[in-house]
Amino acid sequence: MPRMTAARAAVEILKREGVEVAFGVPGAAINPFYAALKASGEIRHTLARHVEGASHMAEGYTRAKAGNIGVCIGTSGPAGTDMITGLYSAIADSIPILCITGQAPVAKLHKEDFQAVDIASIAKPVTKAATTVLEAAQVPGVFQQAFHLMRSGRPGPVLIDLPIDVQLTEIEFDPETYAPLPVYKPFATRAQIEKAIGFLLESERPLIVAGGGVINADASELLVEFAELTGTPVIPTLMGWGILADDHELNAGMVGLQTSHRYGNANLLESDFVLGIGNRWANRHTGDLAVYTKDRKFVHVDVEPTQLGKIFAPDFGIASDAKAALELFVEVAKELKAAGKLPDRSAWAASTQERKATLQRRTHFDNVPMKPQRVYEEMNKAFGPETRYVTTIGLSQIAGAQMLHVYKPRHWINCGQAGPLGWTIPAALGVATADPETPVVALSGDYDFQFMLEELAVGAQHRIPYVHVLVNNAYLGLIRQAQRGLDINFQVNLEFENINSPELGVYGVDHVKVVEGLGCKAIRVTEPDQLLPAFEEAKKLAAEFRVPVVVEAILERVTNISMGAAGIDAINEWEELATEPGHAPTAIKALKS
């Protein structure tokens, strides 16, 4: 039997589980693992500037391509605690990532050794499993189980903590005989699918709500096929955006209090039945449940059995992997169609598209300083259907979701439930690493951008090009808007007069200088007609220099973005709405007045 260090065995398992890239920051307690990584030579490593950044890079890497599992690596103590935010973000959105940390020697774990912290206990609430391996011989089994858990059921992250002496201990391990464990997924039965379709057949105005679980299961094509067979309009959730193209005749728009379309909310409120697949009825999607559920029936399909009935009790629930369920949905629908038993939904589907053509928000403003809506309008012109958008939270993300267009699954990569500021830059780097051939465009407000700004240097060092659109109003805009209800405007102002850049006025941080200092390119835009040329120039610079390129748009200080605090029937539309086609020239459908 071959002998090798436990660290080398772990690296050999990573290779055989399909890992090609890792993100991390070395340190004393994880150096034996890094030595094994170097000796193997088959796994590329990207050196982050912050360990939290490495965890978000791993998330972006996973989210970009079906089957990917991002790996992030750090030393003992603060490296693990820094990565907790990434683990929380991953488990909240059902994203499998593997976090590997170094640890003090086993004999020192109870002696307050330098950087010895019980990271497994800290990480347990935000992982599917978190283990400090105390016996070197257990390392292969722990890693094998980690990949099994990450892929099985509802996907999610795992943390493995390796004491330095465990890493260095030689064990018996034969990589050539290693095999991954079978992945467990619950499967719907034929009877369950037939009952669910029975609800669909009895309804007059059905909708499908398609969530991120459909994308995780790589089942988007099946969902579109089922929708087309039955003529059922589809509401993608924020995490499911791109399952079917925005311009598809069955795309009924997004629903919610924030990242929603006027027509999406109107379509949901007109429905009488909703089939939810791979979604979790997130509160910012549903709003007031009494409004959301009134006068309509629900069937819910989810890979996690305990998710069924968690938010509200559906009329029927099915515990199933989305792909397995949709294969049966398609099979039964084809049989019903062949037998002439599928009702004609064309009038209902057409009515959803009529709302799409009439209920629009205005994007075309010529104001200086610029309104953010104009930025998204010009982004729609500059960035085509192949673009992958990456963003996290804030007014920039909410407005972007309301006004941008997405045409393919995994082309809107958004940290949904956790929403940590600073996520966007490292996640975009992870996405661009996973798929360097597809254009990546990140979107940030100024505060999200400043949280993990140092990670741009990773893009410069490792030649990872992408375009980053930075909308700058020198405000914590979403928090300022939320404070209106308390009649305060407190500790949300970021403006100051920068003594080194007086031309900025009160906009404070000179992002162009900082970005250039980190080895990247930057363009500042102050007028709306400069936006499109700047985006085109940014694409050229990214291609030429192979680094991140930032386009900073200087906005008006205060803009209130459409959103509600109660039900989806009570969204505050702060700005003038579109009343003629020129008000929303890049809308999916030309406005009907």
Q: 197 and 229 in contact (C-beta within 8 Å)? A: no
Tokens of 91: 């488990």
- Parallel/antiparallel/unpaired status of strands 170-172 and 3-5: antiparallel
How far, in Å, CA of 299 to CA of 118, rounded? Answer: 42
Q: What pairing do the DSSP bridges indicate for beta strands 234-236 and 158-163?
A: unpaired
Q: Annotated catalytic, 51?
A: yes
Q: Work out whether the CA dihedral 4, 8, 10, 15 comes out positive or negative.
A: negative
* Contact by Cβ (8 Å): 396, 445: yes
Strand ordering across the sheet containing 521-525: 412-414, 388-391, 440-445, 467-472, 549-554, 521-525
Is 159 among the residues known to form the active site?
no
Degrees to nearest 5, angle at CA 326 with 309 and 434: 95
How many Cα neighbours within 13 Å face the side chain of 144?
14
3-state secondary structure of 462: helix
Indicate which residue of 25, 257, 318, 471 is catalytic.
25
Residue 461: helix, strand or coil by DSSP? helix
Count how many residues are written for the chain. 593
Q: Encoding tokens for residue 362?
A: 């205005």
Residues β-bridged to residue 276? 209, 300
CA-nearest of 258, 239, 270 to 353 is 270
Active site residue 478: no
Q: What is d(CA 28, CA 451) in angstroms, rounded to the nearest whole number?
A: 26
DSSP states of 264-308: HHHHHHH-SEEEEES----HHHHBSHHHHHTT-EEEEEESSGGGT
Q: Which two tokens stand for residue 354?
A: 């009529």
Question: Rounded to an integer, what distance in angstroms lies between the CA atom of residue 495 and that of residue 334?
Answer: 60
Which entry of 106, 269, 479, 577 is annotated as an active-site residue? 479
Residue whose C-alpha is closest to residue 42's, from 7, 64, 12, 72: 12
96 and 25 in contact (C-beta within 8 Å)? no
Determine the Cα–Cα distance for residues 162 and 374; give it in Å rounded to an integer. Answer: 50
Active site residue 25: yes
The full DSSP string for 399-434 is: HHHHH----STTSEEE--SS--TT-HHHHHHHHHHH
Instruction: Give the whole-angstrom CA distance, residue 560 versus residue 565.
Output: 13
For residue 499 the two structure tokens come to: 């003594």
Q: How far apart are the first and last CA of the chain?
A: 76
For the record, the structure tokens of 553 come out as 């748009």
Residue 154's identity, in one-letter code, is: R
Concerning whether 431 is annotated as a catalytic residue, the answer is no
Of 476, 531, 571, 591, the active-site residue reads 476
Q: Are strands 521-525 and 467-472 parallel, antiparallel or unpaired?
A: unpaired
Copy the structure tokens of residue 54: 């490495």
Q: Which of 14, 51, 301, 425 is catalytic?
A: 51
What is the set of active-site residues? 25, 51, 421, 476, 479
